[in-house]
Structure 1
C-alpha cells in the first residue's frame, strides 16, 4: 500500500497484520481523488467544481484505519486532516504513517468511536468515510458527525461501501454520483446551503 499521487506519491504506508483493517485499494483511491480534483460530482451546485472541497481545506477521515484516504488528501493539497479511528492496531499504523510522512503538524488523530465523536473544533467540507462493509454504520455515523458539528453547511461526503450495498442520502444531502471499483462502490453525497 502506498500514496498514489501528489507530493508524497510512491511513499509506502503501514498496515496492521491480518484482517484488522481493510484499506481502500490504491486504484480505488487514485480514481476517487481524480474525481475530487478533476471531475464534477456536484451537478453544477458548486460553480468551481469539487476541487475547492479538497485543496486548502480541512478534511475529515472517519473509520480512518491506516489513514490512507486522509494522507492521500494531504498529499494532494488538503490543508489539514482530522482522523477518527477506534481500533488500537489501526491507530498504531495510522500514527506510524503520519510520522513516516512527517505530517504531524497538518494532522489530528482522534481515538474515538465515529458513532459518538467529540465536538468539532472546525467543520469540514470533505468527509472521507470507509466504514466496515455491510454493518449499516454509514448513516448513523453521518448523523452523529453532523450533530457534533463536523460537517460544514457546504460539504461533500465520499462514502465507500461494498459494491452490492446501497447507501441512501442523509437528510439535507443529495446523492450526486456513485462509482463502482471492483468489490467497492463509492457514494458521493453533497450538501450545500442552497439545497
Structure 2
C-alpha cells in the first residue's frame, strides 16, 4: 500500500512539475486541478511579489503554486498532524525561506498571521479552504470561518477567497467584505470577497 501515495503536480512557474504529496483523503480534501487553474487564471500576475495565506493548508498545493508563480511569502496553517508532515515535506522541495508554517488551530493561529502582516505593514491574499461541513465534528466549521473573515482587519487583506461546497451560499456581505463573484466547479465553488477600498 505504501506506493499508493496520492500526489499532484505544481502547474506553472519556477517549480512547475514538482510532485507534491497529498495527505490521506480521510484527513483533508485536495483542491481540484480545475479549481486551482481557474483561481490562478483569475489572479494572473497579481500573485507576483504578494503575500499569500493558506488557511487549512493540507498539502499546501495552493500556497506552493502561488510561490512557484512568484509570490513573496506564504503563510501555511494546518491542524492535522499527518497533513503537517506532508506539508513540510512539500515545502522542502521549494523555498522554505519564503514559507512560514503555523501548526494547530487555524481559528486561533490567524491572529499570529495577522500580527505578522501588520508588523511588516503588508497585506495578503487569504485563501480559505475549510473541511466540508458534512465531515464528523465539522458541523460548525462554516460559522467559524465566517467569523474569522469578519474579524480580519482590512489593512491586511488584499482579497479573500473561499473554496466551499457548492450547496453553501456565502453571504453577499461578511463584515466589511463584499462578495465579488462565485465560480462553480461541480460540487466545489470559489467565492471571491473584496474589501471596501477595492470596489
1:163 matched to 2:166? The reply is: yes
Q: 2:79 aligns with which of 77, 86, 107?
A: 86
TM-score under structure 2 length normalisation = 0.81
Give matches, 1:35-184, under 5 Å: 35-37=42-44, 51-52=45-46, 54-101=47-94, 103-117=95-109, 118-119=111-112, 120-123=115-118, 124-134=123-133, 135-141=139-145, 143-144=147-148, 147=151, 152=155, 154-168=157-171, 169-184=173-188
TM superposition outliers: structure 1 runs of 4+ over 6 Å: none
Query: Which of the two has greater helix per residue?
Result: 2
Q: 1:33 aligns with which of 18, 35, 40?
A: 40
CA distance in structure 2 between the partners assigned to 1:130 and 1:153 by the alignment? 19
Q: Encode CA deviations 1:81-129: one digit per residue, 9 max, x unaligned.
A: 001111001101100000022x110100011212112432115320011
Q: Which blocks of at least 5 consecutive residues in structure 2 are unaligned?
A: 1-7, 134-138
CA distance in structure 2 between the partners assigned to 1:65 and 1:97 by the alignment? 11
Aligned CA-pair RMSD: 2.1
CA distance in structure 2 between the partners assigned to 1:152 and 1:179 by the alignment? 26
Change (3 A) 1:55 1:110: same
Aligned residues: 179
How far is the alpha carbon of 1:7 from its aligned partner? 1.6
1:190 is matched with which residue? 194
**SS at 2:197 equivalent:** coil
**SS at 2:189 equivalent:** strand
